[in-house]
Amino acid sequence: MNQAANAAPLLLASASPRRRELLRRVGLPFEATSVAIDEAPLRGERGAACALRLARAKAAAAAALRPGRHVLAADTVVVVGRKVLGKPRDAAEARAMIELLADRWHDVVTGVALRAPDGAEWCEAARTRVRFAPVAEDEIERYVSGAEPYDKAGGYALQGAAGWFVEEIRGSASNVVGLPLEVVRRLAAAAGLAGPALDGR
């Protein structure tokens, strides 16, 4: 990859501590900024289309705030059948989401957008299948009484307390956390950006 093209660290357009931790874990240099956009799915919008649209919107918003930088943005949704789940607004929505996910398979879809300073974009969506075990009503009540569900697509975090509910994963685990590293790697290569040092420092 072209080291010169990555003279300034990648700008991650996300307030998510999980996405930041994933990039830190592999040693990819980055700076982070948060952007505010309307994340509601459009009527009839499918999961991948929604996630990609929102990722591109986040990248564009961050690029407007910090011009001259390569910007990485992502958005994750949970899909059950044709229903797209974003972040629950309250306990009733969080409860309904966990009840819907219990004892069945669902898809976690993350759209990733990498935007160059000249406006060129590389985009890709990742999909992971996740199966929840049956979840008892008292478990759901205890779970939604905590803080975890309310800033997570589908109302749960694989790496958090809701890991207790997960029986099986087919596909990228980092995608379920919120940033599919295999997609970031491909997009960075396509954009000519330098990868991480991979030396653990």
- 86 neighbors 153 (Cβ within 8 angstroms): yes
The residues assigned a catalytic role are 75
